[in-house]
């Protein structure tokens, strides 16, 4: 399970990085598009600029030629229209030149040419001015002669040639700029295409990722659901197994202890028969001793009057002890089968009752109980609680330090959903290495000077476990012991943890 998880994590990280990179690329592409577009606009401006220059040049040559033609025409056939035409043409030359000068400021070569053109045009205009002046004064013949002499035509051709050169330069520039513009457009198209592709790629990747995550999520949810169901089933199965095992153990304990009793009845019974037979023999020995002492050896006497009764006595006491142990196991297994019936228990009442019932015994042993209030109210099986506390309290009176009056304090408090009770004595205490052992069946601690089978505490612990609680022990040798009973305030159904 761990391996796919790290793989998943790596995938998620890589996918995230790839997506971020994709979006980054898209951003770069967009910036490129913007830049290329800007460049295209600038290039376009340049092309327009060139167009305008070419246009202006054409208009300039047109205006110069018009002036020339109008002047010549007037000389041949003076008409006021021609004067007007000429004036219009002349009026345009000045602004056109200014315009061109400004427009060609970025192109020193063309600007130089324009500067070279200026004196030519000025000279030509001055010539037409002179001719026109003569014609207006009525000297047509003189003007015509002057016209022939001044070779106006050649001058205009120079101008035409010069402007033609400039136009050629501009045409070349235009060609270059258009080429550059179209190159730029190609780049823009490529970038746009690339961006579109990128967009698509990122989109597809995002879609796939989202789909993968969604299906992963759905699968995880399904698996979780399945696991939950499985877990519940597994827990139920285990619980059933445990319960079965527990029942098995109880049945086993019951059957074993029960079947052990049967031979014990025989041992006890025939021991009693032996005993009564022995009385007969003892009587016989007595009679023989009186009537014919010679028949009797000391060994016969010892066998009949000492060895036999001693043997019978040991058999009997051992069998009785065995019987008590078997009964204890039977009791324990029977208690395990008992159905618990929880009810409200005022612990002050319960513990005071127990203290009262044990009072006589405690006084005999030189101890007394102190039930400290307040005590909580809990909800548990009455009999089980009674057994737990009467066992602990009776135990406390049992192991006192000789000469020290026994004081047994019982107290209790609530801590959250737990009720914690303490049974404290000032008796002889239990050695640290024995604090767990005392809870084991048939085990006891310290000097074995009190009657008992070592069952009480085992029973107390078993009962506390059944009620969902624990019993623990704090003790210092010679100072006393404190048994701590930690129970849930309310008894939950057995085998269920609340």
Partner 1 sequence: MNAQQPVRIVMVEDDEGHARLIEKNIRRAGISNDLTHFLDGTSALDYLFNNPEGPAQNGPALVLLDLNLPDMSGTDILAKIKGDERLHRTPVVVLTTTDDKVEIARCYDLGCNVYITKPVNYESFADAIRQLGLFLSVIQVPDVEA
206/250 with CB nearer partner 1: 250
CB of 459 to partner 1, least distance (A): 18
224/265 with CB nearer partner 1: 265
215/280 with CB nearer partner 1: 280
12/319 with CB nearer partner 1: 319
- Grouping H, G, I as helix, E, B as strand and the rest as coil, residue 419 is strand
* Nearest residue to 423 via CA among 386, 371, 373, 375: 371
323/490 with CB nearer partner 1: 323
CB of 265 to partner 1, least distance (A): 5
Residue carrying structure tokens 């304990």: 253
Radius of gyration of the chain (CA): 64
338/415 with CB nearer partner 1: 338
CB contact at 8 A, 333 and 250: yes
CB of 263 to partner 1, least distance (A): 8
CB of 330 to partner 1, least distance (A): 8
CB of 253 to partner 1, least distance (A): 13
Residues that bind partner 1 (CB under 8 A): 254, 258-259, 261-266, 268-273, 319-320, 323, 334
Neighbouring C-alpha atoms within 13 Å toward the C-beta of 240: 6
CB of 254 to partner 1, least distance (A): 8
Structural tokens at position 485: 């009973």
Q: Measured in Å, how far apart are the chain's first and last C-alpha atoms?
A: 31
Name every residue whose Cβ is closer than 8 Å to that of residue 359 and which is 6 or more positions away in sequence.
368, 369
For the beta carbon of residue 52, count every other beta carbon within 10 angstroms. Answer: 14
CB of 311 to partner 1, least distance (A): 16
d(CA 335, CA 129): 144
Sheet with 418-424: strands ordered across: 367-371, 406-415, 418-424, 480-488, 470-476
Q: What are phi and psi of 404, to 5 degrees?
A: -110, 120
257/426 with CB nearer partner 1: 257
């Amino acid at each position: 399970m761990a391996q796919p998880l790290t793989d998943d994590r790596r995938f998620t990280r890589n996918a995230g990085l790839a997506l971020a990179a994709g979006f980054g690329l898209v951003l770069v592409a967009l910036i490129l598009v913007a830049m290329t577009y800007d460049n295209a606009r600038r290039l376009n401006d340049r092309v327009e600029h060139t167009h305008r220059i070419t246009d202006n040049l054409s208009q300039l040559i047109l205006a110069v030629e018009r002036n020339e033609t109008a002047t010549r025409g007037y000389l041949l056939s003076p008409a006021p229209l021609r004067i007007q035409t000429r004036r219009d043409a002349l009026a345009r030359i000045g602004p056109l030149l200014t315009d061109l000068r400004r427009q060609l400021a970025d192109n020193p070569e063309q600007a130089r040419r324009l500067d070279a053109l200026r004196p030519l045009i000025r000279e030509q205009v001055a010539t037409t001015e002179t001719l026109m002046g003569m014609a207006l004064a009525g000297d047509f013949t003189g003007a015509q002669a002057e016209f022939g002499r001044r070779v106006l035509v050649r001058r205009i051709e120079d101008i035409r040639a010069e402007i033609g050169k400039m136009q050629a330069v501009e045409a070349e520039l235009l060609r270059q700029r258009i080429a550059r513009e179209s190159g730029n457009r190609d780049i823009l198209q490529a970038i746009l295409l690339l961006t579109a592709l990128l967009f698509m790629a990122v989109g597809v990747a995002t879609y796939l990722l989202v789909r993968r995550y969604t299906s992963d999520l759905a699968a995880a949810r399904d698996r979780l659901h399945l696991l939950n169901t499985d877990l519940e089933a597994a827990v139920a199965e285990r619980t059933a197994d445990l319960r079965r095992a527990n029942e098995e153990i109880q049945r086993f304990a019951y059957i074993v202890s029960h079947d052990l009793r049967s031979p014990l009845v025989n041992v006890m019974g025939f021991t009693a028969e032996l005993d009564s037979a022995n009385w007969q023999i003892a009587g016989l020995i007595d009679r023989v001793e009186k009537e014919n002492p010679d028949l009797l050896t000391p060994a016969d006497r010892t066998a009949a009057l000492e060895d036999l009764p001693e043997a019978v006595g040991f058999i009997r006491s051992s069998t009785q002890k065995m019987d008590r142990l078997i009964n204890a196991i039977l009791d324990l297994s029977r208690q395990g089968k008992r159905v618990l019936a929880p009810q409200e228990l005022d612990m002050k009442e319960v513990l005071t009752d127990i203290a009262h019932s044990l009072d006589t015994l405690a006084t005999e042993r030189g101890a007394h109980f102190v039930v400290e209030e307040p005590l909580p109210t809990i909800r548990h099986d009455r009999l089980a609680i009674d057994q737990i506390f009467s066992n602990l309290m009776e135990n406390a009176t049992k192991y006192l330090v000789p000469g020290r009056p026994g004081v047994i304090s019982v107290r209790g408090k609530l801590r959250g959903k737990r009720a914690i009770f303490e049974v404290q004595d000032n008796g002889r205490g239990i050695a640290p290495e024995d604090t767990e052992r005392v809870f084991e069946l048939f085990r006891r601690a310290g000097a074995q000077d009190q009657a008992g089978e070592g069952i009480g505490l085992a029973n107390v612990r078993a009962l506390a476990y059944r009620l969902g609680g624990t019993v623990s022990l704090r003790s210092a040798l010679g100072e006393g012991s404190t048994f701590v009973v930690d129970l849930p305030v309310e008894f939950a159904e057995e085998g269920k943890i609340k």
